[in-house]
Amino acid sequence: MDTNPALPGRSLAGPRTVYNSDHEMFRDQVRRFFEKHIVPFHRQWERDGIVPRSVWLEAGSAGLLCPMLSEEYGGAGADFGYSAIIIEEIARTNCTGPGFPLHSDIVVPYVADLATEERKRDWLPGMARGEIIGAIAMTEPGMGSDLKAMRTTARREGDEYVINGSKTFISNGQLADLVIVCAKTDPAAGRKGISLICVPADAPGFTKGRNLEKIGLHAQDTSELFFEDVRVPVANLLGEENKGFNYLIRNLPQERLVIAVRAAMGMEVMLEKTVAYTKERQAFGQPVIDFQHNRFKLADAKAQATMFRVFADHCLALHLRGELTVELAATAKLLGAEMQNRLFDDFLQLHGGYGYMAEYEIGRAWADARIGRIYGGSSEIMREIIGRTL
């Protein structure tokens, strides 16, 4: 049995049953797109600290954005499996710059589920084409994990909201044309006073700060955002006022699954590359893999990545049936991110000094993976969520 994870439909745990043949045909298309439009340019984008808008437009016309969005708004009306395939191809190539999953699987669903019909028609077709890039702004300089402590406010005045405050660490922040801003519409009500409001990038009073320098994800733009008396129509509210926290809780499992799916593929691919490297690299007259210590490290890594593949596919299958719980999504994110970080650290070590060099993929993958333990809810918050169910 060929378990090479680089082959469609295969994984360390054997054939994958979570996808059908249409999914795998789509993977071929995504893979070709990545090889042509992304992989050759990604190192330059890492130096630039951002990807060009042109790749968003190319991805839009190739049908790589918003696969789940219904056809009437320009999507493909497909299931989350298609999104998962795009996420896996990002992980396979470790081309982390294009923030497609954030846009397609995190931002767009809020708009598609909660915006007014008129706003959906205004924004969604452009989002599917890659002309309107989305971001979501929850985190502020003074708070991240504890959403109820946010200080950004949206005060209602007639038919408008007036937004004041600042956000930080916002992915796609520099490129974003439309930002879902989480703000307090009832500051005294804690988590029950949060609303989600869409703010177009050209709204007067809305400014983008610097593109933040990070230790990894170098091609991904991450920004501070400032709001000073920004006025937007009340029609830009998503869903109902003061229900924002509930909407976030409802959508976060998919965001966490995105991180787990990426971790599962990343571990399989980097394991394969590390095995190849240690077979090639000689020390003391023998391949590095022939030292029992190193072979055991790789054997442990293979066993763990195999186990996680089964669990990640299980969660993916549950999500495709609409049955992924908050708790299981948190479990998948916690295990995936923590395991990926441990394994990548071992893989880097097995590369010796070359592992520390930016031109070797493992070094960049190691730095890129570190964020998995922090964003989308940190590992500690995942433990809190799981702990509450005990």
Ligand X SMILES: Cc1cc2nc3c(=O)[nH]c(=O)nc-3n(C[C@H](O)[C@H](O)[C@H](O)COP(=O)(O)OP(=O)(O)OC[C@H]3O[C@@H](n4cnc5c(N)ncnc54)[C@H](O)[C@@H]3O)c2cc1C
Binding stretches for ligand X (CB under 6 A): 135-139, 143-145, 169-171, 214, 217, 222, 371, 374-375, 378, 380-381, 384
Residue type at 147 in one-letter notation: L
- When the beta carbons of 63 and 253 are compared against ligand X, the nearer one is 253
What is the distance between the alpha carbons of residues 340 and 335, in angstroms, rounded to a whole number? Answer: 8
Q: How far is CA 299 from CA 181, 244, 311, 346, in A?
A: 45, 45, 19, 12
- When the beta carbons of 350 and 385 are compared against ligand X, the nearer one is 385
Least Å distance, CB 173 to ligand X, is 7
Closest CA to 80 of 250, 263, 255: 255
Active site residue 35: no
Least Å distance, CB 205 to ligand X, is 20
Among 140, 224, 255, 361, the one annotated catalytic: 255
Six-digit token string for 10: 């295969």
- When the beta carbons of 70 and 378 are compared against ligand X, the nearer one is 378
Closest CA to 17 of 254, 317, 305: 317
Least Å distance, CB 169 to ligand X, is 4
* Minimal CB distance residue for ligand X: 144
Least Å distance, CB 218 to ligand X, is 11
Q: Which helix (H) or strand (E) holds 262?
A: helix 244-280
Least Å distance, CB 83 to ligand X, is 17
Q: What are phi and psi for residue 187, nearest 5 degrees?
A: -60, -25
- When the beta carbons of 106 and 261 are compared against ligand X, the nearer one is 106
- When the beta carbons of 18 and 260 are compared against ligand X, the nearer one is 260
Helices 244-280 and 292-320 meet at what angle, rounded to 10?
A: 150
110: Cβ contacts below 8 Å, ≥ 6 apart: 136, 180, 196, 238, 247, 251
User: Do residues 278 and 334 lie in contact, with contact meaning Cβ atoms separated by under 8 Å?
Assistant: no
- When the beta carbons of 225 and 289 are compared against ligand X, the nearer one is 225
Sign of CA dihedral 231, 110, 61, 44: positive
Strands 134-137 vs 178-184: parallel, antiparallel or unpaired? parallel
Look up tokens 């177009």; give the residue. 200
Least Å distance, CB 251 to ligand X, is 13
Which residues does the annotation mark as catalytic?
A: 255
